[in-house]
Amino acid sequence: MPQRPTVAEVESILRAPVRQNWEQFTKTLKTLPADVDPDLASQAALSLIHGQPASHWLFGRTCQQLPAPVIRALLGRLEADSRPHAYFLREAVPQEASDEELRTTWKAALQGLLDLETTYAWGSKQRKAKFQALANTPSLLQAIQTAVVACEQVSVDMLAVLTVDASDSSVDALIPHVERAVQSQGWELDRLEDLRKHARSTPVMDDMFARMEALLQGRRARSPALDLARHLGFGELDAIWFRTYLLAGDTHATNPLAHQCNINVDSRTPRWFSVWQTSRMDGLDRNAWSDTHFDNEKLHKDIRGLGACELMQLPDWVARTAKRLGAAWNISDSALFTNLRGKKRARLAEWLRSGT
């Protein structure tokens, strides 16, 4: 039977500035001795969510069995932290509790963090069950409410738990997030509208989602992307979306370059038009770098000087880019994904190839 490491050996592992053996590091955190240095151990534990890469899931899985002094030291380190997980843990775990109660509530809080990090599909029964369990646990529900009230940016999972609960306190915590989304009518409004899948039906909740849906429908009906549908002769559509990718090789380079261009158009979203063009050296650079990126708002990056374009000028931009890159784009029908069908889809594909 392997001998347990000494306190000195444990602290040496925790103190290592570069942890090349993550398995050893996380295993050590799972089985810390009671007399380990609390300050050192708490700092090591928090490195899982404050370091790079950061992982709330790994923190929740690894740190459930921390000794009480380490938990207290860790909560102390979070006192000045204004991120959602810090508010959640401080509210869910009472530092003044006995050691036994502290460790019990700590384990429950970390399990709550794990439930908020679940990878089950958004509308799945498993995810619904986890949200319901959190809403049914008063201490964790209150901790989530506290985090949502204190922070402008919180996970959609935290917000979902509040819609499941739908109590006055949860609605009060939700309202500022909804009002900010209503004012901006950007991506946040789409994100909050997805909460309907989990929300308990109450008059207040139903009115809130009806308001968001009306705003979304209005925004989508005004989307400039719908002008393309009219330009192509499709009349008045409720929505138009497509995405496609173009591939090309550089015909003039000694070392062959691979070029790729991703185009997205979606009248349902606030960023209704975006283009990414990337290039990489085949076999020499596995990580493609973005040469040009623009959307309906602005030109974000343009290393090669390809410039941006309006949606209606997209075919000409594609043709002009091919000449600048010394390449020929392969515009394949199989790489076109869209809500259009039949003749409309064929007309869209023809338009994409129509550049001069």
Q: What pLDDT is attached to residue 1?
A: 46
Q: What pLDDT is attached to residue 256?
A: 54
CA-based torsion, 201, 206, 208, 211: positive or negative: positive
Eight-class DSSP state of 256: P
- Residues 6+ positions from 201 with CB-CB distance below 8 Å: none
Kindly list the distances between the CA atom of residue 39 and the CA atoms of 14, 94, 288, in Å, as whole numbers in the listed order. Answer: 11, 18, 42
- Residues 6+ positions from 232 with CB-CB distance below 8 Å: 344, 347, 348, 351
Q: What pLDDT is attached to residue 327?
A: 83
Q: Half-sphere exposure (CA, 13 Å, Cβ side) for 233?
A: 8
d(Cα 302, Cα 294) in Å, to the nearest integer? 8
Write out the two tokens for 180.
């900010």
Q: Are strands 289-295 and 241-249 parallel, antiparallel or unpaired?
A: unpaired
- Identity at 208, one-letter amino acid code: M
Q: What pLDDT is attached to residue 250?
A: 55
Q: What pLDDT is attached to residue 5?
A: 84
d(Cα 334, Cα 244) in Å, to the nearest integer? 9
Write out the two tokens for 284.
């020499």
Write phi, then psi, for 226 (nearest 5 degrees): -70, -20
Q: What pLDDT is attached to residue 288?
A: 52
* Under 8 Å between Cβ of 41 and 66: yes
- Identity at 89, one-letter amino acid code: L
Q: In the chain, where does DSSP find H-type helix?
A: 7-15, 22-30, 38-50, 56-62, 68-77, 84-92, 99-116, 125-135, 138-150, 156-165, 168-184, 187-193, 203-221, 226-231, 314-325, 342-352
* Under 8 Å between Cβ of 236 and 195: no
* Under 8 Å between Cβ of 105 and 74: no
Tell which residue, 277, 280, 292, has the closest CA to residue 250: 280
Write out the two tokens for 184.
């901006």
Q: Is 297 left (phi over 0), alpha (psi -120 to 50) or beta?
A: alpha
Q: Half-sphere exposure (CA, 13 Å, Cβ side) for 96?
A: 1
pLDDT in tens, the chain (356 residues): 467 888 898 888 888 765 667 888 999 999 999 999 999 999 999 999 987 667 899 999 999 999 999 999 999 999 999 999 999 999 999 999 999 999 999 999 999 999 999 999 999 999 999 999 999 999 999 999 999 999 999 999 999 999 999 999 999 999 999 998 888 777 788 888 899 999 999 999 999 999 998 888 888 888 899 999 999 999 988 889 999 999 887 545 555 567 889 999 999 888 899 999 988 755 444 555 668 999 999 999 998 889 999 999 999 999 999 888 888 888 887 889 999 999 999 999 999 999 86
Q: 219: how many CB neighbours lie within 10 A of its CB?
A: 18
Q: Quick check: pTM over 0.85?
A: no
Q: What pLDDT is attached to residue 20?
A: 66
